Amino acid sequence: MIQTLLFILLLGVTGWFAWKGYGRVWRNIRLGKAEKIGGHAAERWRNVLLVALGQQKMFKNWLPAFLHLFIYVAFLITQIELIEIFVDGLSGSHRFFASALGGFYTFVISFIEVLSVLAFIATIIFLARRNLLRIPRFRKPEMKGWPFRDANLILLGEIILIVGIFSMNGADTVLQTRGLEHYRPTGAFAVSSWLGPALFGQLGDGALMAIERFGWWLHAITVFGFICYLPYSKHLHILLAFPNTWYARLTPKGEMENMPEIQKEVRIMMGLDQPAGDAAADLPEFGANDVFSLSRRNILQAYSCTECGRCTAACPANLTGKKLSPRKVMMDVRDRAEEVGRKMETEKLDAANYTDGKSLFDRITPEELHACTTCNACVEACPVLINPLDIILKMRRYEILTLSAGPADWLPMFNAIENNGAAWAMSEERDAWRQG
């Protein structure tokens, strides 16, 4: 009875923290502008199934892809056992599904144990890659401090979860062989059937019961802690990868979003249309300078970022020593959304009256924006279809079209296009060659 009450209390606390955490993320994503999402649903479902669920793009580098797959599948399948923990925790029963499912129950738990062993091996290798091998994409400036610790914390949490699973199953296996009434036979699990007797076979019944309960609670607390921690971690991509791949652009890579107002001005400049009224007064603010002028899809992508660094590792500007890091761009957008959302909540502000004298340009410098060659290498490299280039282009448009700023060697070309309709300043009309 006491265990059931404690479990219900833990479940309630987890629910409250999860509501606050995920609600904060939802609020921050909605800081952006609504955007019409078109395209065929079939193609979007294909992206979800192949890219988010099937991790298709991960397998361009097969070794870390298989290691990540072990952890990912183990995480998914372990949730089956978590369902039983919920039922046992609320009802006070023990292995509620064992008698009803029989041999299938033994197969499922054995499958989970095999996956857990593979996930343990993968976790150790990933910890070594991050902390011992010093792979360059994990050591970029934006990964210092919390981002680096965050990745290690999740990997350590995975090890704790595996310890809980095998402590619970191993001690339970030994108790079953001793014929205790509460511990009904469940069949021989793939790993615990030999690991349990090897580790705990010499212990008394009381000690075994304590270890079994320790493993059960460790499993439950670790999973609940993970649920609460996820909204504050890069590992939120476990959930957001699915909506992010659904809402990803279906247009060809490199196809820029058209600006109707600019198109109209160009047509007037080329003599194809006539100006109507005060055109200058009707011009909007071009591009984006803050989260309010980005789209909700842009901010969703920032929260979906896995911080794996494949985009930065593929970026030719970064490879040649320039300051641009596409991963940092996504992290900066997410951090700015956090900053704005937090202040709006504490000071009871809305988008219409919010001001703090800051913008994305305080985090992403013009030097970074100008270094981008728009080659789409970062877009191609991302395993969950994030598009850093879209944000970079929107900020460059704001800088050039709204602020009339930009690199000194770009501005003469822009002025020439505006005044002469050509990229080079010429003393005569562009179409003068036709005359005569």
Task: Calculate mean pLDDT across residues 135-149.
Answer: 90
**Angle, in degrees to the nearest 10, between helices 2-29 and 296-304:** 130
Which residue has better confidence, 63 or 117?
A: 117
Burial of 214 from C-beta contacts in 10 A (0-12 / 13-18 / 19+): middle
Q: What band does 63 get if pLDDT is binned at 50, 70 and 90?
A: confident
The pLDDT of residue 231 is 94
**pLDDT over 90, % of the chain:** 58
Model's pTM, two decimal places?
0.88
Burial of 27 from C-beta contacts in 10 A (0-12 / 13-18 / 19+): middle
pLDDT at 280 > cutoff 70: no
- The answer to whether residues 13 and 223 touch, using CB atoms and an 8 Å cutoff, is no
pLDDT at 378 > cutoff 90: yes
Task: Calculate mean pLDDT across residues 281-303.
Answer: 88
Q: What is the average pLDDT score of the chain?
A: 89
pLDDT at 331 > cutoff 80: yes
Q: What band does 241 get if pLDDT is binned at 50, 70 and 90?
A: very high
Per-position DSSP letters for 317-347, written without gaps between them: HHHTT-S--HHHHHHHHHHHHHHHHHHHHHT
The pLDDT of residue 315 is 96
* 397-406 per-position pLDDT tens digit: 999 888 888 8
The pLDDT of residue 279 is 54
Report the distance separating Cα 176 and Cα 185, nearest Å: 6
- The answer to whether residues 322 and 137 touch, using CB atoms and an 8 Å cutoff, is no
Report the distance separating Cα 172 and Cα 213, nearest Å: 9
The pLDDT of residue 369 is 95
Question: Residue 278 to residues 238, 274, 282, 316, 400: CA-CA distances in angstroms?
Answer: 50, 12, 7, 43, 22
Q: What band does 322 get if pLDDT is binned at 50, 70 and 90?
A: very high
* 108-122 per-position pLDDT tens digit: 899 999 999 999 999
Question: Residue 26 to residues 44, 233, 240: CA-CA distances in angstroms?
Answer: 21, 15, 11
pLDDT at 283 > cutoff 70: no
* 185-214 per-position pLDDT tens digit: 888 899 999 999 999 988 998 999 999 999
The pLDDT of residue 194 is 92
Task: Calculate mean pLDDT across residues 321-344.
Answer: 95
Report the distance separating Cα 30 and Cα 14, nearest Å: 24
Give the closest residue to 388 by CA, choosing from 401, 369, 402.
369
